[in-house]
Amino acid sequence: MVLNSNKEVKLYYSIKEVAAMFGLNESTLRFWEKEFPQLKPKTVSSTKVRQYTKTDIECIKKINSLLRVRGFRIAAAKKMLAQDPDGVDRNAEILEKLIQVRDELKALKKQLGDME
């Protein structure tokens, strides 16, 4: 039997942890659960505590990208996720890379401006 030596890996995350990851309110996550059928965290029946998995977090990442980064309305984001969920992933990755390149270019511009 092989033991998992990676202590960083968690099976479940609380709503508070997930909200902090994305800079959201807990109420926003609860609202998204109602609006997006893809997002269904496990709920412990006795305490009604939500438990988010890595899959749920990936779904939240897609929703966050569509709504907050790209500025889609909820209806358009629902349609995008329903029609082409893999396309949303690719677009989010491309957008993240473009943002990194932009930030690097800004830093270079500032360095060049300081040299003059």
Q: Record the pTM.
A: 0.69
Q: Which residues contact 85 (CB under 8 A, 6 or more apart)?
A: 38, 62
pLDDT tens for each residue of the chain, 116 residues long: 455 555 567 788 999 999 998 999 999 999 999 999 888 888 877 777 888 999 999 889 889 988 888 888 999 888 888 887 666 667 767 777 888 899 999 999 888 887 76
- pLDDT on residue 80: 84
